[in-house]
Amino acid sequence: MPTLNPDDFKVADLGLAGFGRKEIQLAEHEMPGLMATRAEFADAQPLAGARIMGSLHMTIQTAVLIETLVALGADVRWVSCNIFSTQDHAAAAVVVGPNGTADAPQGVPVYAWKGETLEEYWWCTEQALRWPDGAGPNMILDDGGDATLLVHKGKEYEAAGAVPEPTEDDSEEWTIVLQLLKESVAKEPTRWTDVAAGIKGVTEETTTGVHRLYQMFEQGQLLFPAINVNDSVTKSKFD
């Protein structure tokens, strides 16, 4: 795999990658389903052409998922869905990859570290939705719906021609989102419209995120198909 550019990732410390890799190897033995999927389907590359943006807790277990998606042919970019949940050694190991080094990382672009500010959190999400060629993902793996929200609101405000100003009743986080989108729309007036057009679907695994998706669907605002992972029988067995 090619060496990542410095702009392709932001994590706490690539020097933690060795520790992270050891823990990933241990986790692989505890996640036989994903490992069996690699063994059975890696040669067929069923995810070739998939550009997957993931917004999910950047843990050791998530690292096994990310590297499974890559093994099946996907082009992946990742962020955490929570400002405190990232395991920094896991993020470092995914960026470095199985065959890279801290000086020449050859893994997956990740923008995540433990203890992000809200501004940093939304910056990370925006970065992961942008591929080096300027394109966006064609699939989103979401947890909490923030990546999906950013795409929908971005397209909505582009169509309106302006991003609304925050009000006194708006939360600090929503004020940050509005500012991010205001700057984005000013620089690239059709960016989110183009990103939304390229997305074939999203998976969502939280009650909050699924509720938001149903609301958008009922209001005729859902821009692409969504899979409700939260209510799957498999998830109910171990969640």
Between the alpha carbon of residue 33 and those of residues 44, 55, 204, the distances in Å are 17, 21, 20
The CB-side HSE value for 68 (13 A sphere, CA atoms) comes to: 22
Q: Please report, for the chain, the start and end positions of each structural domain, with discontinuous segments joined by +.
A: 11-238
The predicted structure's pLDDT at residue 239: 65
* Burial (Cβ within 10 Å: 0-12, 13-18, ≥19) of residue 106: middle
- What is the model's pTM? 0.96
Give the model's pLDDT for residue 58.
Answer: 99
Give tens-digit pLDDT for 178-190: 999 999 999 999 9
Distances (CA, A) of 170 to 88, 126, 155, 178, 211: 31, 21, 20, 10, 20
DSSP 3-state assignment of 105?
coil
Q: Which fold has domain 11-238?
A: Rossmann fold (3.40.50)
pLDDT in tens, 138-169: 999 999 999 999 999 999 999 999 999 999 99
Res 236: pLDDT: 76
Average pLDDT (118-139) is: 97
H/E segment holding residue 92: helix 88-96
